Structure 1
Amino acid sequence: MTQLQRHDLKFLARFLHEQAALVVDEDKDYLIQARLLPVVRKQELGSMADLVAKLRANPYSELGRQVVEAMTTNETLFFRDRHPFETLRKYIIPELITRNAESRRLDIWSAACSSGQELYTVAMEIRRHFPDLCRGWKLNLLGSDIDTAVLEQARQGTFNQVEVNRGLPAQLLIKYFHRRGAKWEIDDAFKRMVEFRQINLAKPWPYLPKMDVILLRNVLIYFDDATREAIMRRAHQLLREDGYLMLGGCETAIKVDGAWRVEKFGPTVVYRPQRPSQSASRRAAAVTAFK
């Protein structure tokens, strides 16, 4: 496979930024070519240069979608980092149950869900520890991603042996999954609990209901500053008052403006909308209760 010319690399970097706000280092041509080589083969093209030429001619084609999806990182696993899910189970969901007792509604969005492990982890935690939420509550567990291929896997709820070995406790695998050929499939009860949609976080979002919790973990690092700020603004607008935003562990250093207040639940950092109507005493009580 011939090396891409510098002007082709610049075009690809610009294309990916325009379509998905992805920041791609032009100097990492080896990474770009490694990610796009399967697309070249699938399209039965002769070279990377042919792919770029076809993309230039029609950037909004099916090929364009495949290029964006190939360059999207889909790293995920069950119970990733573990402590955020402990925080959800011990503190956040119990508070939301009390707060939403009248409406009996709970809305949680996994905003970069990849193949669904994060959202299915939330669903398993709810069914294990809060079974009453599965009866008589309006439970809206939404997962979204830009990549249609991983979303299809998420909807099917099937995972290979390597995927279930990464983070999923053996007792939960035995209890909630069943063998389907060489893969493991999550029980239908969990598929009915969740919904998966394609959403490009870098573009204007479609209508979504107000959320109690937004999991925006390990995705902001792939965007430029302007896109990160726009996503954080939209997340702020979408959260219910006193809702929770959870970022990835490597994203806690991202600068946030005065619209957010930061709280810590042990090792877990969460972001909550700063509301003028909230008293300092209530904020202090919440932080103290979760230590």
Structure 2
Amino acid sequence: MTESDFAFLRQLLLQRSGLALSPDKRYLAESRLGILCRRRGIADLAALVQSLRFGTDPALEHAVVEAMTTNETLFFRDHTPFELFRDVILPERLQTNAASRSLRIWCAAVSTGQEAYSIAMILDEMAPRLAGWKIQIVGTDISGEVLERARKGIYSQFEIQRGLPIQMLLKHFHQEGDKWRISERLRDMVELRQHNLLESSSHLGQFDVIFCRNVLIYFDVPTKAKVLDGMAPRLVPQGAMLLGAAETVIGISTLIVPDRQHRGIYRSQGSIHAQPAGLGLPLEPVRATAGLRY
């Protein structure tokens, strides 16, 4: 791949998906897009870039973005965010939303669904306390291909072994050959939609909790700021956002700020100043029977 072609691809990916591909990632582009060329019967990478330069094939542009998107995920990834969700955020929302008895959660960049289904498992464990509540988990991703996998809820033995406690496996999955399918009950708890984080998310409504984990690391600073500032209005007052372990809002956004009492939780700027007494502290820990530490 020539320098010119690689520069064009980097700019295209940045504009279409926010992906900031560093100069040393040319090998990755050549590898992934080489596979795409073979699948679509395109002669080589030069021919692929030439077609992209014409700009007359949106489907090809989308295929390139999908090919270059990293979809690394696993069940209960990093543990701590799920413990914060279970032990701090949920008690807050149960108190705050007692009148409406509703709870909305957004998993941005949901990939093949493990994060959303991990949340569904936690909520299922506390079903008696949520009886009569309207629960909605919305998972979005730029890739239609991974969303289709998430909808099916079928995972390999390798994917199952990465982070899923055995109690959860036995309770929520059944084996189909050498694969495992998550229960229909949990699949029904998750609504999956295709969405580009660079575009307006106003149509999604507002959420009590936003998981936006391990996606900002692929963006440059201006794109991170655009995504975070676009998400800020999607949080209800005193709502909570959870980011990846290597991600932060500090020096990037003034609309989303760290929670003063709980490391790893972020709030909208307005919520920090308007937070009523008693919130922001764990009320009554909600413990999943299977636990997340193992």
Normalising by structure 1, what TM-score?
A: 0.90
- Answering whether residue 3 of structure 2 is matched by residue 6 of structure 1, we say yes
- Could you report, residue by residue, the CA deviation over 1:47-81 in whole angstroms, capped at 9, with x for unpaired residues? 11121122222354211111001111101000000
Does residue 20 (structure 1) correspond to residue 51 (structure 2)? The answer is no
Q: CA deviation at 1:190?
A: 0.4
What amino acid is the match of 2:49? Answer: V
Displacement of 1:21 after TM fit?
1.7
How large is the RMSD of aligned CA atoms in angstroms?
2.3
- Does 2:50 align with 1:53? yes
Report matched runs for 1:199-210 at 5 Å.
199-210=195-206
* CA distance 1:279–1:43, change in 2 (3 Å): closer
Structure 2 residue corresponding to 1:108, chosen from 105, 109, 123 = 105
Match of residue 280 from structure 2: 286
The whole-number CA distance in structure 1 between the counterparts of 2:271 and 2:82 is 29
- CA separation of 1:60 and 1:271: change in aligned 2, threshold 3 A: farther
In 1, are the aligned partners of 2:201 and 2:231 still within 8 Å (CA)?
no
One-letter amino acid of the structure 2 residue matched with residue 11 of structure 1: F
Do the aligned partners of 1:89 and 1:129 also contact (CA within 8 Å) in 2? Answer: no
Shift of 1:207: 0.4
The unaligned stretches of length 5 or more in structure 1 are none
> Does the CA contact (< 8 Å) of 2:239 and 2:271 recur in 1?
no
Count of residues in correspondence between the two structures: 285
What residue number does 1:85 align with? 82
Give the aligned partner of residue 214 of structure 1: 210
Q: What is the percent sequence identity of the aligned residues? A: 40
Q: For the Cα contact (< 8 Å) 1:263–1:287, is it kept in 2?
A: no
Q: Deviations over 1:112-160 (max 9, x none)?
A: 1100000000000000124442x42111100000011110011111111
For residue 228 of structure 1, report the CA deviation from its aligned partner: 1.2
For 2:167, the equivalent position in structure 1 comes to 171
CA offsets 1:82-134 (integer angstroms, 9 cap, x no match): 0111111111112111110110110000011100000000000000124442x
In structure 1, what is the equivalent of residue 291 of structure 2? none
Q: Counterparts of 1:142-291 in structure 2 under 5 Å? A: 142-252=138-248, 254-263=250-259, 268-275=263-270, 278=273, 282=277, 286-287=280-281
- Shift in Å at residue 253 of structure 1? 6.3
Distance 2:272 2:210 in 1: 22
Structure 2, unmatched stretches of 5+, are 286-294
8 Å contact kept, 2:259–2:272: no
Corresponding residue for residue 70 of structure 2: 73
- Provide Cα deviations, 1:247-288, integer angstroms capped at 9, x if missing partner: 10000364244434422676x5111123379468838x7358
* TM-score, with structure 2 as normaliser: 0.90
